[in-house]
Structure 1
Amino acid sequence: MAWISLILAGVCEMFGVTMINKLHRDRSWQSIILLVIGFGGSFLFLAYAMKSLPMGTAYAIWTGIGASGGALLGMLLYGESKDLKRIFFIALILSAAIGLKQVS
């Protein structure tokens, strides 16, 4: 259950980052509330996951999901660069997260 919680924390982190971008484009109360919900859920799920997972592993995977997911969402939703080098390094981040799961 801790791993599922950690993945949910990463997904909430991606949502929160997307809401930061939305807030820059549309300063509304809805954007602020969704941003707080996204990051609040992220920290809540991360805290739950860290009850049974090592801190270093949980934090590395959480940031990996958030960083790579945020970059992918930027490419898909906001027209950011889809350069092959960028995709390669995102894949490295995800590979490292999977590797940490395998050795934990």
Structure 2
Amino acid sequence: MAWTYLILAGLFEMFGVAMINKLNKDKNWKAFLLLLTGFGASFLFLALAMKSLPMGTAYAVWTGIGASGGAILGMLVYGEPKTALRILFIAMVLGAAVGLKLIS
């Protein structure tokens, strides 16, 4: 269950990052409340995951999902560049997160 919580934490982290972008564009209360909700849920699920996963592993995977997910969202939704090297390095981050799962 801890890994499910950790994946949820990473997905909410991605949502929070997307809401930062929305807040910068729209500058309204709805975007701000969605941002707080996203990051709040992310921290909640991270805390739940850390009850049984080592802190270092949980944090590394959480940031990996959030960072790579944010970069993927940027490419798919916001028209950011989709270069081969960028995709390679995102895959490396995700591969490291999978590696931590395999050894935990």
* TM-score (normalised: structure 2): 1.00
Query: What residue number does 2:2 align with?
Result: 2
Q: 1:24 and 2:7 equivalent? A: no
Give the gaps of 5 or more residues in structure 2: none
In structure 1, C-alpha distance between the alignment counterparts of 2:79 and 2:9, rounded to whole Å: 25
Please tell me the root mean square deviation across aligned C-alpha atoms, in Å.
0.3
% identity of equivalent residues: 70
1:24-74 CA-partner distances (Å, limit 9, x unpaired): 000010000000000000000000000000000000000000000000000
User: 1 CA distance for matches of 2:101 and 2:15?
Assistant: 23
Please give the alpha-carbon distance, in whole angstroms, between the structure 2 residues aligned to 1:60 and 1:9.
Answer: 12
CA–CA separation in structure 2 for the residues paired with 1:54 and 1:64: 15
Structure 1 CA distance, aligned partners of 2:21 and 2:76?
13
Give secondary structure in 1 for the equivalent of 2:89.
helix
- Stretches (4+) displaced over 2 A: none
Q: Secondary structure at the match of 2:53?
A: coil
Size of the alignment, in residue pairs?
A: 104
In structure 2, what is the equivalent of residue 65 of structure 1?
A: 65
Unaligned 5+ residue runs, structure 1? none
Query: What CA distance in whole angstroms lies between the structure 1 residues aligned with 2:77 and 2:23?
Result: 15
Give 2:55's aligned amino acid.
Answer: M
